[in-house]
Chain A
């Protein structure tokens, strides 16, 4: 079966990327399967779990609820784009390790995107603000406590740097 292909140009983690995509290809499938950026996880595929969160023009969104064709002309940041240029972990990523903010790791890329977006707009969030920011991300391992601690630690480390 042949589907119409649409040309897209998207900035992904600072690099311009172009592709021809069928309209029904979700943004997360394009990122993972075509660009091989498999750090973004795909969980429920219908907007419940938050594992596929990416930043669209700096704001966290669910990449399973967008078609790749809609990203045309926009800026996407995936979890791969959070690390430092030399590939070492960001302050937030390192804080997740430090506080055991992950176990199985499935939700982690979505948690990192959601909490990094929070810290970008609010460097000193309250616990309630952190819990609200990750409210759209499900974690079945940690009980969320260590994730909240990770974000608090990252905020503190960034402030005292």
Chain B
């Protein structure tokens, strides 16, 4: 359980990190919080030749609460976001998701960008990003580009970021509606473990209680976290009655193709997908209604 030898550089700036990534290409890996990468290196599931440590780059640690988006620097610790009431007021799904992420010790070290770049299909933050349509700003020596979550997640532990790109910031859309609500839940063997299935939703209602906007998604049921924009669009105009929610949850579960393992069969995961999708939609509706 010791990492294999590697070369290490503590990058002092984002420009230096990008230059190192360009120089070392596929052999280099970015070390952010290390809460997934380091155990994988200890188990020798990965053996990068170079680690580019971005933990001491001040420019990657920030929270900017703006009118339309909350912008979070990629190397911002999960605990910092969790404690931030201004973020919780504008993007409540983030704190709701973080409540399920690991433990105190891992949230103190783990970063928002690291979790997204790691792209575990069971992980909470990638699901939240997918459901909200977060935008990932990537930097390389050649400049920056921004990808929607839907384009960013490419497969299990895979993203569309090139080897020479570093995630710089994540833009989380703020919903301006007065009556909006969100919810996150999951089933895991123990709290803090990887989710067997996770679900997240956010809805907005008008003053008559009709749904004006809805989004929801599921984690752990495919190679990437899944959002269901077409199914969610059918909820718009309804009063989010239980029957409409049940229909949407069933339709989403039918689109999932979860794998089975020792802990949960394929059928059980699909069952959870339906039950949890309905649960978060109902909770989001209640929170939107209570304002």
Contacts and interface: CB of A to CB of B under 8 A. Distances in A.
Nearest to A54: B105
Interface of B: 1-8, 10, 31, 34-35, 38-39, 42-43, 51, 53, 55-56, 79, 102-106, 108-109, 191-192
Interface in A58-72: 59-62, 64-67, 69-70, 72
B109 A62 contact: yes
29 contacts: A4-B7, A4-B8, A6-B8, A22-B5, A23-B5, A23-B6, A24-B2, A24-B4, A26-B42, A47-B39, A56-B109, A61-B105, A62-B105, A62-B106, A64-B38, A65-B39, A65-B109, A66-B38, A66-B109, A69-B8, A69-B10, A70-B10, A70-B31, A118-B104, A133-B104, A135-B104, A135-B192, A136-B102, A136-B105
A70 B105 contact: no
Interface of A: 1, 3-4, 6, 22-24, 26, 29, 44-47, 50, 53, 56, 59-62, 64-67, 69-70, 72-73, 114, 117-118, 132-133, 135-136
Contacts of B51: 23
Given A23-B5, A23-B51, 4 more contacts: A24-B6, A47-B35, A72-B10, A136-B106
Given A24-B5, A59-B79, A66-B38, A50 B105 contact: yes
Contact of B55 (A3, A44, A70): A70
A64 to B, nearest CB: 7
Contacts of B103: 50, 135-136
A23 B52 CA distance: 11
Nearest to B33: A65
A46 B108 contact: no
B104 A132 contact: yes
